[in-house]
Amino acid sequence: MPSSLEANDPTISRLIAQETQRQGSKIRLIPSENFVSSAVLEATGSALTNKYSEGYHGKRYYEGQEFIDQIEELAIDRAKDVFGSAHANVQPYSGSPANLAAYLAFCEPGDKIMGMHLPSGGHLTHGWKVSISGKFFNSVQYQVDKETGRIDLDHVREMAMKERPKVLWAGGTAVPRTIDFSAFAEIAKECGALFFADIAHIAGLIAGGAHPTPVGLADVVTTTTHKTLRGPRGGMIMASEEHAKAVDRAVFPGLQGGPHNHTTAALAVALHEAQQDSFKTYAHQIVSNAKALAARLSEHGFELVSGGTDNHLILIDLTNKELPGKVLAKALDRAGIVSNYNSVPYDTRKPFDPSGLRIGTPAVTTQGMGETEMVKIADWMNEVANSVGDEGLQERIAGEVREVCKAFPAPGTSGTCGTSAHTAA
């Protein structure tokens, strides 16, 4: 008997099935992607999507909130416990709205903000020129050192003291090294800036104790709730009690209407999973896998920005291979290995045809893969890079990849895998 979706909209049903099959049959190395548990999927697809809940616990504009209030309070309490934060707002729709809410809470149009240069690994919402943050605010941006590929904190301090920004950002989308949040906090204090930390990529590593935390150091901490945290697609803001009211007012009514209650419930589930000891093991394994993958790629002559990684992410500069990032990404995809082409620091190529490739280990770690599999993945990548036009080679590797994925099934990608022993929760 067909499902309700299949009977009602067979086209969408077919496309979802095909995407599910794709996710389960390819190695996913995009560092911002992951697999959620079956429990998180179940909460995301629940009847909670039917309910409007503008406002906060005890101060709603709609009746019928007795269960929604409990769900949101659970998500908040679990977030505070996992991250050690005094206050948490779990209503932002995603990471970019969370960052915009932080601006709205503390900044006026035209204020000076300082974040990492996008090609150096920063995020659009940290002041890049095409983003609303670069259009509404006076943005200045620091870059990584050209030789080392790492953040030069002396350079950041010098620029901050000269520019005196209202906000100093730490964090980004392609930062393969540990971020020294303590040093950023000291710089912000010295130049009189508010310190905002964006932990969207590393939230799960922080939750699992595999990366230092900015909580207690930063005035505001923003994050997505998927990526390494392995929750639904959403956002979150953490702050001290001093800043709690300003943050809450910025999210609602300042920027958003009703929260997505199904997402809030799924986040509560993911945070419950993050409270388990198995999540700590998972977070540390992400880093171990990334280091093993990076080491093998280096052996094959791939040039890694900053020379390697401390976290989940590896940024590869393909200039020495005389191979554009887009060309390799597409060849790898045909071979069953999914990555994304990405700019590298001081890139001479255009953003849509850059010199780099960005990869990471959250999804493969969720599947239960370890260092042995990382070595094999690096070997496959090297084979493809050496013969990007060899379709027979790509087809052969794609078949081998499918066999590995069968051995390491991910939740939600087949009728039998469920929440496997490979996944925390």
Q: Which of 196, 133, 191, 134 minimizes the C-alpha distance to 165?
A: 191
- Distances in Å between the Cα of 142 and the Cα atoms of 71, 198, 380, 401 are 40, 15, 36, 40
Residue 249, C-beta contacts closer than 8 angstroms, at least 6 positions apart = 105
Residue 178 CA to residue 213 CA, distance in Å, equals: 10
Name every residue whose Cβ is closer than 8 Å to that of residue 192 and which is 6 or more positions away in sequence. 164
Residue type at 74 in one-letter notation: L
The tokens describing 373, both together, are: 């599999």
| Spatial separation of the C-alpha atoms in residues 143 and 168, rounded to whole Å | 13
Alpha carbons 307 and 176: distance in angstroms, whole number: 9
Bridge partners (DSSP) listed for residue 304: 316
**In this structure, what DSSP letter does residue 143 have?**
-
Task: Quote the longest CA-to-CA distance of the chain.
Answer: 68
C-alpha R_g of the chain: 22
Round to the nearest angstrom and report the end-to-end CA distance of the chain.
31
Query: 226 near 35, Cβ under 8 Å?
Result: no
What residues are annotated to the active site?
A: 52, 54, 198, 224, 227, 233
Rounded CA-CA distance 24/411 in Å is 9
Task: Determine contact, residues 235/267, Cβ cutoff 8 Å.
Answer: no
Which residues, at least 6 apart from 396, have a Cβ–Cβ distance to it below 8 Å? none
**Angle in degrees, CA 349, 355, 358, rounded to 5:** 135
CB atoms within 10 A of CB 303: 18
Length of the chain, please? 425
* Cα three-residue angle 37-42-47, rounded to 5 degrees: 155
CA-wise closest residue to 222 among 253, 243, 192: 243
